[in-house]
Amino acid sequence: MSATAASAPRRRDTGTVRAIETTVLVIVGVILAIATVNDVGRQVQNNHRLIADLRTWRQYTGHDYRNISIDSETLGLDSEREILCGNTTPGPPGARTQVCLAIWGPTVNGVRTVHAGWYLPPRVEDLRVHRYGCFGSGLRGMCAR
Amino acid sequence: MSVAAPSERGVAHVRSERWVPALATLLALLLVAAAAEVVIDGSAGLSPLIPKSPQIAGWLSGVGERLGYRVFLIALLVSSGAYLGLIVIAGRSGRVADGADGAEPRYVGGVVSKRWAIALVAALQLIVFAGPILISTDVFSYIAYARMAVEHGLNPYTHGPIAIHHDPIFRYVGRDWDRVATAYGPLYTLLSYPLAPLGVVGALWGMKLEALLASAGTLALTWRCARARGLDPVLAILVLGANPLYALYALGGAHNDLIMMLAMMAAVSLMVVGTPSRRREAGAAMWVVAGALIKATVAVLLPFMILSKRSLAPVLGAAAAVALGAVIGYAAFGIHGIDVVAALNRDAAFVSSDSFATEIAHLLGKPGVFPVDHDLLKAALVLIIVHLLWRTWRGYDWVAASGWALLAISVTSTWLLAWYILWPLPLAVVTRDRRLLVATLCVQALFVIHQTSPLLAPVQ
């Protein structure tokens, strides 16, 4: 068999492999694109919820502060329940007595429901041992005092 | 801008309408304006996109406003669109002439001239170089590791920057990394030593200059490799140098990935430019090892290089470089300095919200990536690499195979950052398999799209 004749089946093989590879690449690309778009939608939904949470905190406390911390993990990741903490008087983040609100439920008129809350002394983390002046009934056992 | 006359025989005919040069100029101006906007607004400080840093671009600080997500993302989207338009124009008009009497094909120009492309890429690089550190705190970790060793006599492979919490650099190190020992190769750590005594600002400028020079070197080598392979070198440097992720994220953050890419392209250049020889093959393998001693990922090129040549020279070159690197690494840092596997295993466990693994986990209704997913992703990566090795054995271009391997590493990684999806780009522009370039740019486009949620629902 001549070299040219021998290389013909090899070229056909390479062409088939290339076609399979391209198909796999397109499928993977479509999956990655769907996952990306889905994740953007998920983030946008989360952001809308957080916007409602921030508005709720500001409306509830009457303070139009910008630096409010949002904790989405303590009450369960993906539970759509958040704890928002912010200063009670103007100052750097966490430098004053803070008021924390536990917020969940549907967004109605741009705000959600405050189910419970507590105060924190300045410059401490939001740990059970530091919480005092608890109010609301949504979270029994969240406060030490 | 120049429009070349179609005077050579065998040149593919390209119709350049009168509006194409004007459109290319407009797109280039958009790229420059978007980069300038980010740099000028970034210089104003107090931005979530600008890490806490000494004032190194204070002379620009009075010009712009604080850089917010909205402006940054609009700039990123505008520059991504302009970039795509520009490379489509350059790709359609760039022409490669058939070589006479079997000589190598030769690039003869197109709508986008060589001088114009170089000027655009240089302008983008210099604008970003003049500005503050963008987006990432990594460069402060690089400086901290260097200062730990040079100024404090500590081993950066056994201590995190917290060990020098009294040092002026510490306040700039990212909080997530202050207890993490360096994962970079010993060659990179040693390269950063001369910058340590320069103080924080001096070292920062040193790092920025290092990144700029590495970028310039990578672009020059990419040009040479593209020309040697009969590909359009203008398109090659536009695709790489005008890439918004390359300019804003990699160069903007002064990432050492640029130095790794320089070593990678030095290796490729030795293999594809000039007359092949055993000496060049050995030298290329040594460059790959040098790159891996900066950042380990680039080592993935070595098996493809060896398999394509099927000669002893690259094996011997790599072995000599590994031995030399091991001796130097051990002498400087002890066993931890050469324990690359431990560093890779540690980093492989990290998870970022931008990784495709996390996105797919969310798509499947899971809160995130689980330990079993890491194993599945590693298995998928091994399968892809084995397939690519088989293809290389059967005659597939080893440069393209290496590019696919780097792309697969970034896509299957649970810790994905913008500068990781740049790794395959220089290889993609010097290979004839255009699927690699398309796939790399698609992955980058998905990454950019994933950043856009603050634009759609801004949290204030």
Q: What residues contact residue A25 under an 8 Å CB cut-off, 6+ apart?
A: B435, B439
pLDDT one-digit tens code per residue, B303-338 = 999 999 989 999 999 999 999 999 999 999 998 888
| Inside any domain, residue B198 | yes
CB atoms within 10 A of CB B316: 15
**Chain A to chain B Cβ contacts (< 8 Å):** 65
Classify residue B113: in a domain, yes or no: yes
Q: Is residue B57, in this structure, part of any structural domain at all?
A: yes
For position B198, what pLDDT does the model report? 95
CB B298 within 8 A of CB B260: yes
Cβ contact (<8 Å) for B458 and A47?
Answer: yes
Which of B442, B459, B460 to mutate to probe the A interface, most A CBs <10 Å?
B459
Chain B residues near residue A34 by CB distance under 8 angstroms? 363
Give residue B2's pLDDT band: very low, low, confident or very high (50, 70, 90). very low
Average pLDDT for chain B = 90
Chain A contacts in chain B segment 340-399 (CB below 8 A) = 356, 358-360, 362-363, 367, 391, 394-395
Domain range holding A58?
1-145
The contacts found for B369-374 with CB under 8 angstroms, 24 or more apart, are: B369/B414, B373/B414, B374/B348, B374/B349, B374/B414
Give, in order, the Cα–Cα distances in Å from B137 to each of B105, B143, B255, B345, B414.
44, 10, 10, 22, 19
Question: What percent of chain B has pLDDT above 70?
Answer: 92
Instruction: Count Cβ atoms below 10 Å from residue B123 Cβ, excluding itself.
Output: 16
DSSP H helices in chain A: 3-61
Mean pLDDT computed over B334-362: 86
Domain region containing B74: 19-456
**Is B73 within a domain?**
yes
CB B397 within 8 A of CB B231: no
The alpha carbon of residue B427 is apart from the nearest alpha carbon of chain A, in Å, by 18
Domains held by chain A: number: 1
| Closest CA–CA distance from residue B135 to any residue of chain A (Å) | 20
Task: With beta carbons under 8 A apart, name residues in chain A contacting B453.
Answer: 40, 43-44, 47
Cα-to-chain-centroid distance, residue B300: 15
Counting the structural domains of chain B, the total is: 1
Assess if residue B96 is contained within a domain.
yes
Stretches where chain A sits below pLDDT 50 are: 1, 3
Nearest-CB residue to A39 (from B439, B442, B450): B450
- Cα distance between residue B162 and residue B50, in whole Å: 22
Nearest chain B residue to A23, by CA = B435
- Residue B147: count of CB within 10 angstroms of its CB: 27
* pLDDT tens digits, one per residue of B404-443: 999 999 999 999 999 999 999 999 999 999 999 999 999 9
Tell me the chain A residues in contact with residue B439 when contact means C-beta distances shorter than 8 Å. 25, 29
CA distance B210 to chain A (A): 34
| Residue owning tokens 């160069």 | B251
Find chain A residues with C-beta within 8 A of B362's C-beta.
Answer: 35, 38-39, 42
Q: What is the DSSP letter of B163?
A: G
Biggest alpha carbon–alpha carbon distance for chain B: 69
What residue type is assigned to position B179 of the chain?
R
Is residue B171 within 8 angstroms of chain A, CB to CB?
no
In-domain check, residue B3: no
φ, ψ of residue B159 to 5 degrees: the values are -130, 150
The residue among B107 and B233 whose pLDDT is bigger is: B233
Taking an 8 Å cut-off on Cβ atoms, the answer to whether B435 and A22 are in contact is yes
The contacts of residue A49 (CB under 8 Å, 6+ apart) are A80, A82, A107, A112
Residue B48 pLDDT class (50, 70, 90 cuts): confident
Note whether B450 contacts A40, CB cutoff 8 Å.
Answer: yes
Burial class (CB in 10 A: 0-12, 13-18, 19+), A47: middle
Q: B98 lies in a domain?
A: yes
Cβ contact (<8 Å) for A39 and B454? no
Residue B140 to residue A23: CA distance in whole angstroms: 43
pTM, entire model? 0.88
Using CA coordinates, name the residue in chain B closest to A25. Answer: B439
SS3 call for B192: helix
Q: Which of B288, B204, B188 is nearest to B254 (CA)?
A: B204
Res. B243: pLDDT tops 80 = yes
Q: Measure the CA–CA gap between A41 and B289, rounded to whole angstroms.
A: 42
**Which tens digits make up the pLDDT trace of B129-167?**
999 999 999 999 999 999 999 999 999 999 999 999 999
Contact of B408 with B246, CB cutoff 8 Å: no
